[in-house]
C-alpha cells in the first residue's frame, strides 16, 4: 500500500506555500521598519557577546576584527585597536549605523564602526569547560579549531578553513544535517539498547519509535540550543522532527513538497535565513539527495548510500557551490570518499575525546590538511547558474531532464578538474 502524501492535492500545497509567503512578507515588513529606525540613529548602545576575534594588518598597523552578537538579535562585525583578548568577553558597545548598511546586510551580517564602552568577563560555563577539555587533547591549534568546530560550531581558523575548502569538505566541518543524521543514529541506537529489554519484558505494547524518538529529539534539541542554532543545523533539526512525526503517522517522507514546506516555515519564523548561504546550501543538498533517490529506487540500498548519493551530491552541487565560491583544487575529488569516511570518524572521535584520547588521529589529519597547496578560482556566470537551477527544478518531473542535468554536472566537473 502506498503511503499517503504530505499534501493530497497540488492546490493544498500551493495554498500552504502562499500562506507562508504572506506571513514571511509581513515579518519582513516588520524587520524593514526596525532596519529603517536602526540606520537613522546617530548612534546605538547595545550589549554584545564576542563570537570571534582575530588580528589583521593594514598599512603597517595591526587591529582586531570582532564578530559580535547583540542582545537585540543582530550579528555584526566591527574593529578595535585595543590590545586585549576579547574572546569570552561581554561588551557594552556604542555603534554608529549608516545608510551604507543595506537591508540584506541587516538581516544577515554587516560591518559598522563602534566604540567599546565597557568590557566584562563572562562566567566560566559548562560549554567553556568542554571546549577547554577538547583543546587540552591537542597540541596543534589547527586541530583544536577543527574539533571545536565539528563538536560545538565554533569559528574555524582562517588558514585551516582555506585548506578545508581546497579539500572540498567544508560541509563536514560546518554542522549540518550530515552531522545530525549521525547523531540521531548514535543517540537513538544507544537509547534503544537500554529500552528494548525493558519494553520486551514490561511494556511490549509501547511504540519504541515514539518513546525513543521523543528522547532523541529532546537530546538533539538541547544540542541545537547548546551550539547556538547554526542555520544549516536548524533546518536539519526541523526536517528531522517533522520526518519523525511523518513516519509515526505513516505519511510519505521523501518529497519535494515536504522540503519546500519546511524551508518556507523556517524562513517565515526566522527571516534572516533568507540571506543565510549555509541555510540555502543545506536545502540544496537535501534537494539533490531527494532527486537522486527519486531516480535510483530500483537499486540496492547499499549502492544508493555508498555510490549514488556521495558521488551524485558531489557532482550535482558543484555548479551550485561554484556560483558562490570559486575555490577549486584537484583534491576536491576526494570529497565523496572523505564524506563516507566521516560517518564512522565522527562518533569515533567523540568517544576518543570522552576518554582523553582525542589527539590519536591528529597526525593523519594534519597530513590530510597539508595536501592541498594552492587552488584557482572558477565561478559560474549568473545566467549559467540560473539555467542550472531551472533544469534542477524541471528534473523533478522528468527523468530525461535529470540525466541531462547529471551530464551537465559531470562535464562541468571534467572542465574544473582536468
- 73 Rama class: left (phi>0) / alpha (psi -120 to 50) / beta: left
**Is 295 a residue whose pLDDT tops 80?**
yes
The predicted pLDDT at position 302 comes to: 86
- Grid cell locating 222: 538541547
Mean pLDDT calculated for residue range 284-299: 92
pLDDT tens, residue by residue, 108-127: 899 999 999 988 888 888 88
| pLDDT at 347 > cutoff 90 | yes
Residue 234 has pLDDT above 60, yes or no: yes
| Residue 50: strand, helix, or coil | strand
Residue (of 329, 314, 229, 330) closest to 273 by Cα position = 229
Query: Per-residue pLDDT for 282 more than 70?
Result: yes
* Whether residue 1 has pLDDT greater than 60: no
Kindly state the percentage of the chain with pLDDT values over 70: 99
Confidence category of residue 395, pLDDT binned at 50, 70, 90: very high
Instruction: Give the side-chain half-sphere CA count within 13 A for 205.
Output: 0
Domain locations in the chain as residue ranges? 41-123
Which of these ranges, 85-89, 128-132, 287-291, 383-387, has the smallest mean pLDDT?
Answer: 85-89
Place of cell 505494547: 205
* Of 256 and 85, more confident: 256
Q: How many residues does the chain have?
A: 418
Integer CA distances (angstroms), 122 to 50, 69, 77, 156, 230, in order: 10, 14, 20, 21, 22
Q: Please check the confidence at residue 389 and state whether its pLDDT lies above 70.
A: yes
* Angstrom distance (rounded) from CA 134 to CA 89: 20
Confidence of residue 247 (pLDDT cuts 50, 70, 90): confident
The mean pLDDT value for 232-244 works out to 85
Q: What tens digit of pLDDT does each residue of 177-214 get?
A: 889 989 999 999 999 999 888 888 888 888 888 889 99
Q: Does pLDDT of 170 surpass 60?
A: yes
Which pLDDT score, from 0 to 100, does residue 372 have? 84
Where b means 16+ CB within 10 Å and e means fewer, 112-141 reads bebebeeeeeeeeeeeeeebeebbebbeee
The band of 26, judged by pLDDT with boundaries at 50, 70 and 90, is very high
SS3 90: strand
Residue 206 burial (CB count, 10 A): 13
Q: What is the pLDDT of residues 27-41, one digit of tens each?
A: 999 999 999 999 999
Selected residue with higher pLDDT from 183 and 61: 183
At residue 124, the pLDDT reads 84
Q: Given this model, what pLDDT does residue 72 score? A: 85
β-sheet bridge partners, residue 115: 94
Q: What is the pLDDT of residues 302-324, one digit of tens each?
A: 898 888 999 999 999 999 999 99
Residue 96 has pLDDT above 90, yes or no: yes
C-alpha distance from residue 213 to each of 10, 62, 262 (Å): 30, 51, 19
**Cα separation, 309 vs 296, whole angstroms:** 10
Mean pLDDT of 156-177: 87
pLDDT-derived band of residue 80, with 50, 70 and 90 as boundaries? confident
C-alpha pair distances (Å), 103 with each of 41, 64, 344, 382:
15, 26, 42, 22
Q: For residue 46, list its beta bridge partners.
A: 93
In this structure, what are the phi and psi dihedrals at residue 45, rounded to the nearest 5 degrees?
Answer: -100, 140
6 pLDDT higher than 80:
no
pLDDT higher than threshold 70 for residue 3: no
pLDDT at 4: 67
> 319: closest CA among 396, 372, 376, 387?
387
Q: Is pLDDT above 70 for 219? A: yes
Nearest residue to 405 via CA among 286, 333, 313: 313
Query: What average pLDDT does range 55-77 have in this prediction?
Result: 85
Residues 410 and 403: their CA atoms lie apart, in Å, by 10
> What kind of architecture, by CATH, is found in domain 41-123?
Beta Barrel (2.40)
DSSP per-residue codes, 337-403:
HHHHHHHHHHHHHHHHHHTT-GGGGHHHHHHHHHS----EE----HHHHHHHHHHHHHTTT-HHHHH
| Mean per-residue pLDDT over the chain, rounded | 89
Q: Poorest-confidence range of 1-15, 88-102, 212-226, 297-311?
A: 1-15
Residue identified by cell 554584545 is 48
- Residues 6 or more apart whose CB falls under 8 angstroms from that of 85 comprise 53
Position 2 confidence tier, pLDDT thresholds 50, 70, 90: low
Q: Is 74 helix (H, G, I), strand (E, B) or coil?
A: coil
Please compute the mean of the pLDDT values over residues 279-291 and round it to a whole number. Answer: 91
**pLDDT at site 136:** 94
DSSP string covering 138-197: -SSHHHHHHHHHHHH-PPPPHHHHHHHHHHT-HHHHS--HHHHHHHHHHHHHHHHHHHHH
Residues 6 or more apart whose Cβ sits within 8 Å of residue 229: none
Residue with cell 533517490: 293
Per-residue confidence (pLDDT) for residue 239, from 0 to 100 = 82
Q: What is the pLDDT of residue 174?
A: 85
Q: Which helix (H) or strand (E) covers residue 14, if one does?
A: helix 10-40
Rounded average pLDDT over 78-86: 83
Instruction: Count other Cβ atoms within 10 Å, centred on residue 60.
Output: 5
240: pLDDT strictly greater than 70: yes
Amino acid at each position: 500500500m502506498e503511503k499517503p502524501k504530505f499534501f493530497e492535492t497540488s492546490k493544498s500545497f500551493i495554498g500552504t506555500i502562499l500562506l507562508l509567503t504572506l506571513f514571511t512578507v509581513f515579518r519582513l515588513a516588520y524587520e524593514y521598519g526596525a532596519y529603517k529606525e536602526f540606520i537613522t540613529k546617530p548612534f546605538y548602545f547595545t550589549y554584545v557577546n564576542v563570537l570571534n576575534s582575530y588580528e589583521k594588518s593594514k598599512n603597517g598597523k595591526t587591529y582586531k576584527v570582532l564578530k559580535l552578537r547583540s542582545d537585540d538579535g543582530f550579528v555584526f562585525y566591527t574593529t578595535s585597536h585595543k590590545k586585549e583578548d576579547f574572546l569570552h568577553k561581554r561588551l557594552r558597545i556604542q555603534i554608529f549605523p549608516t545608510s551604507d548598511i543595506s537591508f540584506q546586510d541587516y538581516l544577515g551580517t554587516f560591518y559598522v564602526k563602534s566604540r567599546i564602552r565597557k568590557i566584562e568577563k563572562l562566567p566560566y560555563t559548562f560549554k567553556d569547560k568542554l571546549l577547554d577539555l577538547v583543546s587540552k587533547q591537542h597540541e596543534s591549534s589547527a586541530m583544536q579549531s577543527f574539533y571545536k568546530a565539528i563538536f560545538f560550531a565554533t569559528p574555524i581558523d582562517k588558514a585551516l578553513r582555506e585548506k578545508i575548502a581546497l579539500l572540498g569538505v567544508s560541509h563536514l566541518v560546518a554542522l549540518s544535517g550530515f552531522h545530525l543524521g549521525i547523531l540521531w543514529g548514535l543517540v537513538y541506537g544507544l537509547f534503544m539498547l537500554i529500552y528494548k529489554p525493558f519494553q520486551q519484558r514490561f511494556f511490549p505494547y509501547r511504540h519504541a519509535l515514539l518513546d525513543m524518538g521523543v528522547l532523541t529529539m529532546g537530546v538533539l534539541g538541547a544540542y541545537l540550543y547548546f551550539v547556538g542554532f547554526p542555520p544549516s543545523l536548524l533546518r536539519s533539526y526541523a526536517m528531522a522532527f517533522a520526518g519523525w512525526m511523518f513516519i509515526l503517522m505513516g505519511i510519505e517522507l521523501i518529497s519535494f513538497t515536504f522540503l519546500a514546506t519546511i524551508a518556507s516555515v523556517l524562513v517565515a519564523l526566522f527571516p534572516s535565513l533568507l540571506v543565510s548561504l549555509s541555510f540555502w546550501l543545506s536545502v540544496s543538498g537535501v534537494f539533490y539527495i531527494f532527486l537522486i533517490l527519486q531516480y535510483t529506487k530500483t537499486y540496492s540500498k547499499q549502492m544508493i548510500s555508498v555510490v549514488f548519493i556521495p558521488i551524485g551530491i558531489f557532482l550535482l552541487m558543484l555548479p551550485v557551490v561554484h556560483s558562490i565560491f570559486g575555490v577549486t583544487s584537484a583534491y576536491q575529488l576526494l570529497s565523496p570518499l572523505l564524506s563516507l569516511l566521516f560517518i564512522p570518524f565522527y562518533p569515533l572521535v567523540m568517544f576518543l575525546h570522552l576518554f582523553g584520547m582525542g589527539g590519536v588521529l591528529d597526525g593523519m589529519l594534519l597530513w590530510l590538511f597539508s595536501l592541498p597547496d594552492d587552488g584557482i578560482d572558477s565561478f559560474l556566470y549568473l545566467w549559467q547558474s540560473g539555467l542550472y537551477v531551472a533544469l534542477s527544478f524541471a528534473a523533478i518531473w522528468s527523468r530525461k531532464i535529470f540525466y541531462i542535468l547529471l551530464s551537465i554536472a559531470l562535464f562541468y566537473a571534467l572542465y574544473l578538474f582536468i
